[in-house]
Amino acid sequence: MKISYHGHSVVKIETNGTNIFIDPFITGNETTDLEADNTMADVILLTHGHNDHVGDTVEMAKRNDALVVAPFELATYLSFQGVNTHPMHIGGKHEFAFGTVKLTQAFHGSAYTEEENQRIVYTGMPAGILFSAEGKTIYHAGDTGLFSDLRLIGEMNEIDLAFLPIGDNFTMGPEDAAIAADWLKAKKVVPVHYDTFPVIKQDPQAFVDTLKQEGIAMKAGDELDL
């Protein structure tokens, strides 16, 4: 399984001949190395409905005939736009041909902002994602504050790699994310959701240096084998 990071919270997983993107915010993301028009995806996994996580989902899904897996309300909203979706919800698990997806809780908001209409569309509860394939488990926390059930998630799952937000202001900051990493007992931790906007500027290397487990400050385009 090959994992790559592409700025903000964008993660790509290549497994079982499938290209999977989590939260593909590309257009307007100055921290990414990708170009939306030539990014290929077979599957898109979404944590919640904020614009900086839904990103280019609709265009990518239609162009690639990709499946979008998302919390129910967000999946329904995207299906109205002609996207092929598989709705799920917190606590639910589904085995796909490419791997197993389970949604966990996250403490955040979830709404899509239609700026042209000055309208905010409610898109259900935010979630984290547990993805398992090839005997490995990846946890993408999405956007969240620190909450005690992260300890339970760590006890119930053997997590090989965790992506945790560190930007502060909208999500956990580095101090809380370090506690989350400890509770999750992940073998490796990668910080995400930082530097995209001035208000979430952080030093990822300083964060990983505080961790008890292996931390990797991935830059956009960096890859690792799991």
- Domain CATH code at residue 158: 3.60.15.10
Residue 94: pLDDT band (50, 70, 90) is very high
Query: Does 34 reside within a domain?
Result: yes
Query: Does 226 reside within a domain?
Result: no
User: Cα(67)–Cα(42) distance, rounded to whole angstroms?
Assistant: 6
18's enclosing H/E stretch is strand 18-22
* Torsion angles phi and psi, residue 112, rounded to 5: -100, 130
Query: Does 160 reside within a domain?
Result: yes
Predicted local distance difference test score (pLDDT) of residue 44? 98
Question: What average pLDDT does the segment 85-106 reach?
Answer: 98
User: Cα(146)–Cα(179) distance, rounded to whole angstroms?
Assistant: 8
User: Domain limits at 32?
Assistant: 2-218
Query: Does 224 reside within a domain?
Result: no
Q: Any idea what the Cα angle at residue 49 is, between residues 100 and 130, rounded to 5°?
A: 20
Query: What letter does residue 96 receive in the DSSP assignment?
Result: E
Q: Is the pLDDT of residue 16 over 90?
A: no
Query: Does 12 reside within a domain?
Result: yes
User: Cα(167)–Cα(74) distance, rounded to whole angstroms?
Assistant: 24
Classify 146 as helix, strand or coil: coil
How many domains does the structure of the chain reveal? Answer: 1
pTM of the full structure: 0.97
Compute the radius of gyration of the chain from its Cα atoms. Answer: 16
Predicted local distance difference test score (pLDDT) of residue 171? 98
Query: Does 128 reside within a domain?
Result: yes
Q: Is the pLDDT of residue 194 over 90?
A: yes
Q: Is the pLDDT of residue 60 over 90?
A: yes
Query: Does 225 reside within a domain?
Result: no
Query: Does 63 reside within a domain?
Result: yes
